[in-house]
Amino acid sequence: MSENASTFKAKSTIKSADLDHRFKVNFNIGKYNNAVPLGKLQFRDTDLARERAKNVKWRAIETLDQQLEDFESNFTRRGGKVIWAEDAEQALASILEICKAKNCKSVVKSKSMVTEEIHLNKFLGEHNIESVETDLGEYIQQLDGEPPYHIVTPAMHKSKEDVAKLFYEKLHTPPNLTPQQLTLVAREKLRAKYPVAEIGVTGANFIIADTGSIAVTENEGNARLSAAFPKTHIVIVGIEKVIPSLSDLSLFWPLLATYGTGQKVTVYNSIFSGPRQAGETDGPTEMYVILLDNGRTNILDNPVTRESLYCIRCGACLNACPVYKNIGGHAYGSTYSGPIGSVITPQLSGLKEWKHLSNASSLCGNCTEVCAVKINLHELLLENRYEAAESGLASTGEKLAWKLWKTASLSRKMMNTGNKKIKNWMVNKAFSGWTAHRSGLDFAAKTFNQQWKEKTGSGASD
Ligand code: SF4
């Protein structure tokens, strides 16, 4: 078993027995579940909207090279700069180069999973550059020294009391502040950061090819401030975020809002198309977009799992997943958690180290059911399992167990041998890894042949 798999198993075992955690997560997901049906009312045909979105993403991904080149030429025409990064190291090196050129001491950044993927905050810290998370949830997580718990709501696992305690310990505020008071404390702290930061970093929800723009969706206005105050704006975005046209936003913005939080449309939706132009009074004087591959072209190369690149990171599949709701976002040990994380992490970072995530699923299909862009998530989990088995990555014990199972299942003679008690003991012993956390397998008291004979009066063949 890989180290990641052992850690995953240990963390999941602890978390799934933590009733306090389960209560908090279910409470927050409960609020989400109440909001989503209201958001969906804005669509005349929700299913058709999802189908259309899937088709748009299909077209974008099938023509990814052309779409990205179109974006680059349209964006650079207005003075923006595009950097192509094959991996995290290249992205970080480019960011550091820009920081050095700007003599940067502090960065303000908005929530971005890609910056988590490349561990940007840690990297900047190692180079004595302060990187401040300005999204409230991310700010809370940064104060607590934890990565985001959820791709949309980073501090979903914390109650308001937990946050009040954290602020008391880290910021020395009174211990029992209300959510409103806590927000005002965070606002006061963060507002002071924008005017002094040399660089603002954001992610992007969409890369728009035909206008050469990026679109950023948020509820707090912090991404706008991060992009507008500092003289330099750096956008880091995965290459799969492309959509062909500005007009596609009329479909994707409401879908993202409804499936992300149950809103009809998110509070702030910004489109950035380059640095400040002549005659404009505000905005950054320089704007960079770093297009990050970091394993995405490996997924593109796989005709089956390619579909996972359609993801718009709405988080709906996490909220619907019985595994995620019990083990929580941190047990996965990867940047992307939940069903989509279990599909893409093994593809992005290697099946050998991460295939266990694809096994941690009941295959109930709830994720596929709720996906905003209709990705067949549970089938992709099966595909990862298939690819892992085909690549010979199963352990010797697992291979042997399945071989025995197959041999016995295909032989009526073996199935008819021994009584229920002996068979239960043998099988549950052989599959003890399986039965450690599940009820044991229980054979019927009578074999199929015996039952058939009793029913029909004739014997079934071996
Ligand atoms: S896979 Fe689908 S449901 Fe999950 S985050 Fe992506 S778009 Fe949302």
Which atom of ligand 1 is nearest to 314's Cα? 8
- Give residue for tokens 């992005």: 348
Distance 312 CA to ligand 1 centre (A): 6
Average pLDDT of the chain, as a whole number: 95
- Residue having the nearest C-alpha atom to atom 4 of ligand 1: 317
Amino acid identity of 114? Answer: V
Residue 441 has what pLDDT? 84
Please give the Cα distance from 276 to 279 (Å, whole number). Answer: 8
Residue 151 CA, closest ligand 1 atom number:
5
The pLDDT score that the predictor gives to residue 418 is: 82
Per-residue pLDDT, averaged over 259-280, amounts to 96
- Arithmetic mean of pLDDT, 352-379: 96
Instruction: For ligand 1, say whether the CB of 380 is within 6 Å of any of its atoms.
Output: no
Residue minimizing CA distance to atom 8 of ligand 1? 314
Q: How far apart are CA 423 and CA 448, in angstroms?
A: 14
Q: What is the pLDDT of residue 62?
A: 98
CB 273 within 8 A of CB 212: yes
Q: What is the sign, positive or negative, of the torsion defined by CA atoms of 123, 124, 130, 136?
A: negative
Closest CA relative to residue 112, chosen from 214, 43, 23, 210: 214
Mean predicted confidence (pLDDT) in 103-131: 97
Considering only 28-37, 81-90, 432-441, 443-452, which range has the smallest mean pLDDT? 432-441
Residue whose C-alpha is closest to residue 112's, from 77, 141, 83: 141
Residue 278 has a pLDDT of 93
Tell me what the mean pLDDT of segment 25-44 comes to: 97
Is the shortest distance between the CB of 255 and ligand 1 below 6 Å?
no
Sequence-distant contacts of 42-45: CB under 8 A, at least 24 apart:
42/254, 42/258, 42/264, 43/254, 43/258
| Cα(294) to centroid(ligand 1), Å | 19
> Both tokens of residue 220?
């707090």
Q: What pLDDT, on the 0 to 100 scale, is given for residue 301?
A: 96
Both tokens of residue 405? 């199972």
CA distance linking residue 276 with residue 288, whole number of Å:
12
The secondary structure element, H or E, covering residue 286 is: strand 286-292
- How many Å apart are CA 29 and CA 317, to the nearest integer? 11
Query: Can you state the angle between helices 351-359 and 338-349, rounded to 10 degrees?
Result: 160
pLDDT in tens, 134-193: 999 999 999 999 999 999 999 999 999 999 999 999 999 999 999 999 999 999 999 999
Distance of CA 28 to the CA centre of its chain: 18
At 437, the pLDDT band (50, 70, 90 cuts) reads confident
Q: Residue with the nearest Cα to atom 7 of ligand 1?
A: 311
Mutate to test the pocket of ligand 1, among 259, 309, 337, 344 (most ligand atoms within 8 A of CB): 259
The CB of 372 under 6 Å from ligand 1? The reply is yes
Mean pLDDT of 5-33: 95
Which residue's C-alpha comes closest to atom 2 of ligand 1?
A: 371
Measured in angstroms, how far is the CA atom of residue 252 from the centroid of ligand 1?
12
Q: Is the C-beta atom of 340 inside 6 A of ligand 1?
A: yes
Residue 356 identity (one-letter amino acid):
H
Q: Say if ligand 1 is within 6 A of residue 225 CB.
A: no
375 lines ligand 1 (CB under 6 A): yes
Q: At 409, is the pLDDT very low, low, confident or very high (cuts 50, 70, 90)?
A: confident
The answer to whether the Cα torsion of 86, 92, 95, 100 is positive or negative is: negative
Of 278, 325, 295, 260, residue with least CA distance to 89? 295
Ligand 1 centre from 372 Cα, in Å? 6
pLDDT for position 427? 84
pLDDT of residue 339: 98
Largest CA distance in the chain: 94
Query: Which pLDDT score, from 0 to 100, does residue 462 have?
Result: 52
At residue 428, the pLDDT reads 86
Atom of ligand 1 nearest to the CA of 316: 3
Output the CA 344–ligand 1 centroid distance in Å. 11
Mean pLDDT, residues 246-256 taken together: 98
Q: Average of pLDDT values for 373-402?
A: 92
For residue 79, CA distances in Å to 244, 273, 279 come to 21, 9, 14
pLDDT-derived band of residue 432, with 50, 70 and 90 as boundaries? confident
For residues 383-397, give the mean pLDDT: 91
Residue 430 has pLDDT above 80, yes or no: no
Query: What ligand 1 atom has the least distance to the C-alpha of 312?
Result: 7
Q: How far is the CA of 293 from the centre of ligand 1 (A)?
A: 19
Q: Which atom of ligand 1 is nearest to the CA of 377?
A: 1
> What span, in angstroms and rounded, lies between the C-alpha atoms of 150 and 147?
9
Kindly give the number of the ligand 1 atom that is closest to the alpha carbon of 259: 8
Supply the pTM of this predicted model: 0.91
Ligand 1 centroid, distance to 318 Cα (angstroms): 8
Quickly state the pLDDT bin for 396 (edges 50, 70, 90).
confident
| Cα of 176 from ligand 1 centre, angstroms | 36
Q: Does the CB atom of residue 316 touch ligand 1 within 6 A? A: yes
pLDDT on residue 426: 85
pLDDT at residue 435, as a whole number: 79
CA 316 / ligand 1 centre spacing (Å):
6
User: What pLDDT does 416 receive?
Assistant: 87
pLDDT band at residue 460 using 50, 70 and 90 as cut-offs: low
Tell me the best of 243, 313, 345, 369 to mutate to test the pocket of ligand 1, counting ligand atoms within 8 Å of each CB and taking the most.
313
- pLDDT confidence of residue 459: 59
So what's the pLDDT on residue 461?
A: 54
